[in-house]
């Protein structure tokens, strides 16, 4: 625990340093932006620079600056230097940042949580169908009611898998008693409870130290995140359930977006759509490569069809919980599944 506290203090000082520099830059650019001939789009995500999400945003920067002839300049901040996903979402809400991608999409539109329901769909193709459907376009457009513009939504880095340091997980019964870190969103928390785990809320950038010190027994993330955040260095077992993925909305501060000219809005949205499609394709192509790299460090367990049924049965109360809460209706869930399966 002493090492964890030291780590967090160091991390917080690091963030504070960059936050001060960022605030100074913000004051300077705000005064410059009053003359709206040029625009600055400040963006940040928690993943390191080499991660696919970050690299897709490098593509976004290059393409947007090129296609707007430099009228929109993009500043990128990676690796959590401006804060964790919760903090970045707050910065976009206030307009201190203009954009982010990450887990706190509930602030943008609670309907995005529907895509995180366990076993909602079973393949990349189904997930791709859904995020590119009229169903998703409606959710994106509704985000304006909360002060955000979402030009496109992708798939959040692939299907989630579980790592832990205690034992192979082959059935929901194996989760009992395990302290499992989950994303700080209610669907993932309730799903962990349904599996029988003891869910622990923790920012992604703090998982490594928590695993290393035994603060948590395990966690769940897509293979890309497990590798990029080096969780394989402090884990023993990996279980592939493909129980869920999630949405990856391109979140933009609406007030900033509305300062753009109509022509620049068209270019911005087009490049954002191209970026999200590129991100999804990169994640899909690299998933097997990530699993191959992880197999050299972890014992990987693939569940059988019979074991899959046990997991699917275990999460039925999660659907009931959110339907009873009024977050989704059964009709919305079934409509989403129809679009995922490309059914008329």
Residue 182 included in any domain: no
d(CA 145, CA 222): 30
The pLDDT value recorded for residue 6 is 47
Domain total of the chain: 1
Q: At what angle do helices 262-295 and 124-131 cross, to 10 degrees?
A: 170
Burial class (CB in 10 A: 0-12, 13-18, 19+), 22: buried
Residue 129 included in any domain: no
The CATH code of the domain that includes 29 is: 3.40.190.170
| Other CB atoms within 10 Å distance of the CB of residue 115 | 26
Residue 272 included in any domain: yes
42: domain range? 2-104+249-286
| Other CB atoms within 10 Å distance of the CB of residue 297 | 16
Residue 32 included in any domain: yes
Query: Cα(first)–Cα(last) distance of the chain, in Å?
Result: 54
Structure tokens at 295: 């197999």
What tens-digit pLDDT sequence spans the chain (344 residues)? 444 444 444 555 545 555 555 554 554 454 444 445 799 999 999 999 999 999 999 999 999 999 999 999 999 999 999 999 999 999 999 999 999 999 899 999 999 999 999 999 989 999 999 999 999 999 999 999 999 999 999 999 899 999 999 999 999 999 999 999 999 889 999 999 999 999 999 988 899 999 999 999 999 999 999 999 999 999 999 999 999 999 999 999 999 999 999 999 999 999 999 999 999 999 999 999 999 999 999 999 999 999 999 999 999 999 999 999 999 999 999 999 999 999 85
The pLDDT value recorded for residue 2 is 47
Residue 144 included in any domain: no
How big is the CA angle at 195 (ends 190 and 197), to the nearest 5 degrees?
80
pTM above 0.75, yes or no: yes
DSSP string, 23-78: HHHHHHHHHHTTSTTSEEEEEE-SS-TTSHHHHHHHHHHHHHHHHTTTSEEEEEE-
Side-chain-side CA neighbours of 269 within 13 Å: the count stands at: 16
The pLDDT value recorded for residue 31 is 40
d(CA 264, CA 182): 38
Side-chain-side CA neighbours of 218 within 13 Å: the count stands at: 25
Residue 186 included in any domain: no
Nearest to 180 by CA among 158, 164, 161, 159: 164
Residue 60 included in any domain: yes
Residue 343 included in any domain: no
């Amino acid at each position: 625990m002493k090492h964890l506290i030291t780590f967090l203090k160091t991390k917080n000082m690091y963030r504070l340093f960059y936050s001060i520099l960022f605030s100074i830059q913000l004051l300077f650019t705000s005064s410059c932006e009053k003359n709206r001939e040029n625009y600055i789009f400040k963006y940040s995500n928690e993943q390191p620079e080499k991660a696919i999400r970050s690299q897709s945003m490098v593509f976004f920067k290059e393409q947007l600056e090129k296609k707007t002839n430099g009228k929109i300049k993009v500043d990128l901040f990676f690796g959590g230097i401006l804060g964790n996903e919760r903090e970045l979402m707050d910065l976009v809400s206030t307009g201190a940042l203009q954009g982010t991608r990450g887990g706190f999409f509930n602030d943008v539109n609670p309907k995005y949580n529907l895509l995180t329901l366990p076993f909602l769909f079973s393949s990349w193709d189904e997930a791709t169908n859904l995020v590119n459907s009229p169903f998703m376009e409606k959710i994106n457009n509704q985000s304006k009611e909360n002060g955000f513009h979402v030009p496109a939504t992708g798939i959040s880095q692939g299907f989630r898998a579980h790592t832990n340091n205690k034992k192979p997980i082959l059935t929901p019964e194996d989760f009992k008693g395990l302290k499992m870190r989950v994303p700080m969103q209610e669907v993932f928390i309730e799903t962990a409870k349904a599996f029988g785990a003891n869910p622990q809320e923790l920012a992604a950038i703090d998982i490594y130290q928590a695993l290393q010190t035994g603060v948590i027994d395990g966690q769940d993330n897509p293979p890309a995140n497990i590798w990029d955040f080096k969780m394989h260095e402090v884990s023993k077992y990996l279980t592939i359930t493909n129980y869920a993925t999630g949405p990856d909305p391109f979140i933009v501060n609406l007030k900033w977006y509305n300062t753009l000219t109509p022509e620049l809005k068209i270019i911005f949205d087009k490049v954002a759509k191209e970026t999200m499609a590129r991100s999804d394709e990169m994640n899909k192509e690299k998933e097997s490569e990530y699993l191959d790299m992880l197999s050299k460090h972890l014992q990987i367990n693939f569940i059988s069809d019979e074991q899959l049924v046990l997991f699917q049965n275990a999460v039925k109360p999660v659907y009931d919980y959110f339907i009873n809460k009024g977050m989704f209706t059964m009709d919305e869930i079934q409509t989403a599944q129809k679009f995922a399966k490309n059914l008329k």
